[in-house]
Amino acid sequence: MFDRSSRPRQLPFALPATLLIAFATLAACSGEQPGAGKKAGPSAAEVVTAEATMQPLGVEIEAVGTARANESVEVTSKASNTVTAIRFEEGDRVRKGAILVEFDSAEVRASLAEAEAALAESQNQFKRSRDLFTSKALSESQLDLIESTLKGNQARVDVAKARLADTIIRASFDGTVGFRRVSVGSLVSPGSVITTLDDASLIKLDFTVAETYIHALEKNLPVIAASAGLPGREFRGKVTHLDSRVDSVTRSIAVRAELPNPKGELRPGMFMTVRLQGEVAPALLVPEGAIVPEQGHTYVFVVENGAAQRREVKLGKRRPGEVEIVDGLKEHERVVAEGTQNLRDGGAVNEQRPEALAKDATPSS
């Protein structure tokens, strides 16, 4: 009978040979002995830093506005009349006092001749009456009545001359006339537009600025304007007027600047962009990417001894890509400009400077 006790004793389970080989391989690759544990520390964050520097900075304001002529009128008639002559060509440059349009004046001239005849008769009668008054042949009341008649006839002559002057429309200032809207023989009513007259040798540019910039606005502040219709051109001028009120709805103030326009390139009604710069003063600037807003506060990470220290700062003016630091930072301190999203207060950093990155990016010859 077979004796079970004579068999060699086996383990309850056995590891496969392939698994034992894998464990041995991993241990060899790790280079560590079993049980010799090593405490792991946090790695330094890769960041790009920049130096806080003092630079000249002024308040920069951008706005959009509408160009207007220095002087602009719609040429109209005071009374109903018929056009007998048009003395201008569309687009002409005319001088002040130049005749633009003539109306029928026959009736007005007849009225003037009648009034002048009555005036001449009144003048002769007044002269005779003064002689009679001197000789006591005419009373003072009778002389006063004759004198009032003389003055009335003189007024009628003045009215007739004014009506005659209204039959000729002249340019009220030097400028350029627009399209004519009447023809010879047209019956024109009072207020009907005959043409336009614009003096665009100087352009008035009207625009609005937010009330937060009122402290930087003043007369004679330089402006630079541009128009999409004239690409690559800049027109320089200065602020001449500030409105006396701030709009209670838009919280903005109306501003007017004047731009010289000797070549007539700018036209009234053009849409233009405007840039203004206030008084320039030294300011401590850092890259815009260094600012970390959090719960109504603003912070920067200052690099000191290989670690990033979070510091609250107060911001001032801005310009594209840079921000002024009013309080909380000193000149020449280095702040994290790129990589702030991976930082914590006191965390280790591996600092890289923009100038070093630019040098590395330059291809070798």
Nearest to 266 by CA among 208, 205, 320: 205
Name the CATH superfamily housing domain 105-166.
Helix hairpin bin (1.10.287.470)
Query: What SS3 class is residue 340?
Result: helix
**Measured between alpha carbons, how far is residue 11 from residues 8, 14, 15, 16 in Å?**
10, 7, 10, 13
Query: What SS3 class is residue 359?
Result: helix
Q: What is the pTM of this model?
A: 0.59
Give the rounded percent of residues in the chain with a pLDDT score beyond 70. Answer: 85
**Per-domain residue ranges for the chain?**
48-57+281-358, 62-70+198-277, 105-166
Q: What is the dihedral of CA 60, 62, 63, 66, to 10 degrees?
A: 90
CB atoms near residue 134 (< 10 Å): 10
In tens, the pLDDT along 93-122 reads 999 999 999 999 999 999 999 999 999 988
Task: DSSP for 212-250, please give it.
Answer: GGGGG--TT-EEEEE-TTSTT--EEEEEEEEEEEE-TTT
| Paired residues of 187 in beta bridges | 82
Query: What SS3 class is residue 343?
Result: coil
Q: What is the pLDDT of residue 145?
A: 86
Same fold, 48-57+281-358 and 105-166: no
For 285, the enclosing helix (H) or strand (E) is: strand 281-287
Whole-angstrom distance between the N-terminal and C-terminal Cα of the chain?
92
In tens, the pLDDT along 261-280 reads 999 899 999 999 999 877 77
The rounded distance, in Å, linking the Cα atoms of 280 and 52 is 18
What CATH code would you report for 62-70+198-277?
2.40.30.170
- Please check whether residue 178 is in contact with residue 197, taking contact to mean a CB–CB distance below 8 angstroms: yes
In tens, the pLDDT along 176-190 reads 999 999 999 999 999
For 50, the enclosing helix (H) or strand (E) is: strand 45-51
Angle between helices 106-134 and 140-165 (to 10 degrees): 160
Q: What is the pLDDT of residue 141?
A: 83
Q: Does domain 48-57+281-358 have CATH number 2.40.50.140?
A: no
Q: What is the pLDDT of residue 6?
A: 46
